[in-house]
Structure 1
Amino acid sequence: MKRTITIIVVVIVVLAAIGYVLNNNKKKAQETTDFIAKGSGSVAVKAANVERKEIDLDFTVNGTFAPNQELNFSAENSGRVSKIYVEEGSRVSKGTILARIDAEILDTDRETAEATYQNAVRDLQRYESSFATGGVTQQQLDQARLNAQNAKLRLQQQQKKLNDANIRSSINGIVNKKMIEVGAVVAPGTQLFELVDVSKLKLKVNVNENQVANLKIGDAVQILSSVFPDEKFSGKVTFIAAKADETLNFPIEVEVTNNVKNSLRAGMYGTAVFKFPKQAPAILIPRTSFAGSVSSNEVYVLNKEKNIAELRKVISGRILGENVEILDGLKEGETVITSGQINLSEGTPVTVIK
């Protein structure tokens, strides 16, 4: 019982001590705030001169090259691979036969479909002759026409399957992977080849909101590669994301024309150099000059005669890295406060730390 009472007393004493310390700190903070508010002292701040500077919108970003076209060929029919005409690394053109699947069963199915179609055509001819003499009804004639049409469609389907026994490339490119061997039995959906086209590539990069605002589809871009530092490649913007990703950056795609030797390969790193026309000089101030955020459009200006801070409304423009363009509210030669704004109010005396 005594032990429990002792523990309770100790807890009460500790809580009382914590309350005293917090209350004392609160009083000191309030005294400091009141002291500044009454103008009895000056606040140490940093400041910067308002200047008109040239605006440089050029920037560079790094990314990775991806093939302009990449296709994985899959089998459409079941069968045994009878021939393979290409190897990994082979260059192929559109229409090139890559491999052949044994078409013996497909030939049989196609011949059966052909015989069925011919029978349906002969039946239709007989029904048409009989209908002219009143031997069959209109319904029987329509059914014969439907049978002939269905038989024709089945024949076309079997003919397509037979044609698909020859696996043909649908793009110009390089065989990057071969996933079958002669004698292998494949089923519909079995992966056969991976083809990539590197005559043109896509350089995928991410840009921030300030950079994306100056881009548009079709802009010319200079491309550099650390692997080939003496070669220059050209590209153009082909895609600009309408929505930022999780990092609040915007994915951009630049189409790049490879050289004659196709030196660039998918997966390599590249640098996109975005250049813009020369901009007219504008009034710029550090981004840290704003009281709160840039969207507040409020800055503290130093009154050099009275050494006090004066709150002023401005109209901000573009955010250019660490600087912000000012469209109205400031003039060249004035001084804005860049740090210490949290302790300022209208008319607070200040001391500029150089």
Structure 2
Amino acid sequence: MKRVIIIIVVIVAALGAIAYVLSNNKKKNEAKTAFIAEGGGAVAVRVATVEKKVVDLDFVANGNFAPKQELNFLSENAGRVTAIYVDEGARVSKGQVLARVDAEIINTDRETAQATLQNAQRDEARYQSSYETGGVTQQQLDQAKLATRNAKLRLQASQRKVSDANIKSPINGIINKRYIEVGAFVNTQGTQLFEIVDVSKLKLKVNVNESQVANLKIGDNIEIKSSIFPDEKFSGKVTFIAAKADATLNFPIEVEVSNNTKNSLRAGMYGTAVFNFPKQAPSILVPRTSFVGSVSSNQVFVYDKSNNTSKVRKVVTGRILGDNVEILDGLKEGETVITSGQINLAEGTAVSIVK
């Protein structure tokens, strides 16, 4: 019994949904019929006057600040950490010693390489002397010279490792994280030591659409605002413009921003890029809906006031500016373009304007 009731309820709900859809479609058809009827037998259309307007290209875009430089600093030598000279939050300079790794094994390798070089140099001197008296061949002398060069290279590599026992900062910045403690063992496979971030300059990453990116170029100066520091003034410069749109058909842009002397801005904060452009000369604009099919068709219908008919007009389009399109050629100021009803029009079709 319960199952029968459920089936009946489902059937009633389905019939109700069908009735609602049919009623809604009937209302839409009646509205279309009324719209056409207003034309008095002609095709009812809506129109817009072709006007010259000043194009405002200014816009703003929001994004997040990212550090211009950040580095996850890894170990290059194996050993035990014997000293750490900086804490998290410390400001460091390029070349400053941050920590030291026990260099006992490294020093031993250097001493061995030094002894090997000295022996190779003595052997080369003996071979050179013997060669001059005919005691050895040219090949034996060349092998002695090669052994000396190889020993020099091994010594240089060992000396580099000794120098690397003092872990130095490769950039200017702030120690954002420290991953080691005194007594910890690091290996040559790249133990993470420090995360260093430079916020003296940051990158503001924003996205712009196709009409906006067309007016940008590398090196443009941009005003930057921060809601956290509304009284502070920041400036930036466009350093990157994507050559390809992303999945949302927007173009990623990067603006390099100079921080203030207090480094108030921090990576991860929100920022606003204000793009200001010189005042533009007035341009002929028409609604985007004026085009037959799409803007790429370069075809519109013009309303002929003398006999209330439609005329096909080929035009040359410029920039797409929101809901309007710039017309470079094909229309004159004061003419009237048809903005709706084009699907029912042809050359010379009688039309009636619906307000």
After TM superposition, the score normalised by the length of structure 1 is 0.87
SS of residue in 1 equivalent to 2:256: strand
Specify every segment of 5 or more residues in structure 2 that has no aligned partner in the other structure, as ranges. 1-28
Q: 1:50 deviation in Å?
A: 0.6
CA apart distance, 1:340: 2.0
Counterparts of 1:105 and 1:343 in 2: how far apart (Å)?
89
* Corresponding residue number in structure 1 for 2:205: 204
- Residue 196 of structure 2 is matched in structure 1 by 195
What residue in structure 1 maps to residue 7 of structure 2?
A: none
Q: CA separation in 1, counterparts of 2:342 and 2:265?
A: 52
Whether 2:308 is the aligned partner of 1:342: answer: no
1:268-310, CA deviations, whole angstroms, 9 ceiling, x for partnerless residues?
A: 1111111111111111011111111111111111122322222
Q: Which amino acid is the alignment partner of residue 162 of structure 1?
A: V
Partner in structure 2 of residue 157 of structure 1 = 157
SS of equivalent to 2:231: coil
2:40–2:352 CA contact under 8 A, matched in 1? no
Match of 1:24 in 2: none
1:322 to partner: Cα distance: 1.4
Count how many residue pairs are aligned between Structure 1 and Structure 2: 321
Query: In structure 2, what residue type is equivalent to 1:97?
Result: V
The match for 2:290 is 289
Equivalent residue number for residue 130 of structure 1: 130
CA deviation map 1:315-334 (0-9, x unaligned): 11111121111111111111
The answer to whether 1:171 aligns with 2:171 is: yes
| Counterpart position of 2:45 | 45
| Structure 1 counterpart SS, 2:41 | coil
For residues 237-270 of structure 1, the C-alpha deviation after alignment (integer angstroms, 9 at most, x for no partner) is 1111122222222111111000011011111111
State how far apart, in whole Å, the 2-side matches of 1:352 and 1:233 are. 52
Q: Secondary structure at the match of 2:122?
A: helix
Equivalent residue, structure 2, for 1:214? 215
Using the alignment, how far apart are the partners of 2:152 and 2:245 within structure 1? 52
Letter in 1 for 2:192: Q
Deviations 1:111-144 (A, max 9, x none): 1111111111111111111111111111110000
Query: In structure 2, how many angstroms separate the alpha carbons of the residues matched to 1:146 and 1:41?
Result: 102
In 1, distance between residues paired with 2:73 and 2:213? 36
Give the residue type in structure 2 aligned to 1:345: A
Q: Using the alignment, how far apart are the partners of 1:232 and 1:321 within structure 2?
A: 30
Partner of 1:81: 81
Show the counterpart of 1:233. 234
Once residues 184 and 341 of structure 1 are traced to their aligned partners in structure 2, the CA distance between those partners, rounded to angstroms, is 77
Distance 2:55 2:150 in 1: 71
Root mean square deviation, CA, Å: 1.9
Alpha-carbon distance between aligned partners in 1 of 2:260 and 2:341, rounded to the nearest angstrom:
55
Letter in 2 for 1:144: A
Matched, 1:144 2:144: yes
- The residue type equivalent to 1:48 in the other structure is A
The letter for the 2-side match of 1:333 is G
Q: Does 1:255 align with 2:260?
A: no
Shift in Å at residue 190 of structure 1? 0.9
Equivalent residue for 1:316? 317
SS where residue 98 of structure 1 aligns? strand
Distance in 1 of aligned mates of 2:68 and 2:40: 69
How far apart, CA to CA, are the structure 2 residues paired with 1:51 and 1:337?
14
Shift of 1:40: 8.5
Find the aligned partners of 1:121 and 1:303 in 2 and give their Cα distance. Answer: 101
Aligned partner of 2:274: which letter?
A: V
Q: Does 1:185 align with 2:185?
A: yes
What are the Cα deviations for residues 141-163 of structure 1, in whole angstroms up to 9, with x where unaligned? 00000001001100000110111
Tell me, what secondary structure is at the counterpart of 2:222? strand
How far apart are residue 209 of structure 1 and its match? 1.6
- What amino acid is aligned across from residue 285 of structure 2 in structure 1? L
CA distance in 2, matches of 1:281, 1:294: 21
State the 1:231 CA deviation.
1.4
Q: Which residue of 2 aligns with 1:117?
A: 117
Give the drift of 1:41. Answer: 2.2
Unmatched 5+ stretches in structure 1: 1-28
Query: Which residue in 2 is equivalent to 1:3?
Result: none
Q: With the length of structure 2 as denominator, give the TM-score of the two structures.
A: 0.87
Matched residues in 2 for 1:92 and 1:178: separation? 13
**Counterpart amino acid of residue 43 in structure 2:** V
- 2:134 aligned partner, one-letter code: G
Give, in whole Å, the separation in 2 of the partners of 1:228 and 1:177: 26
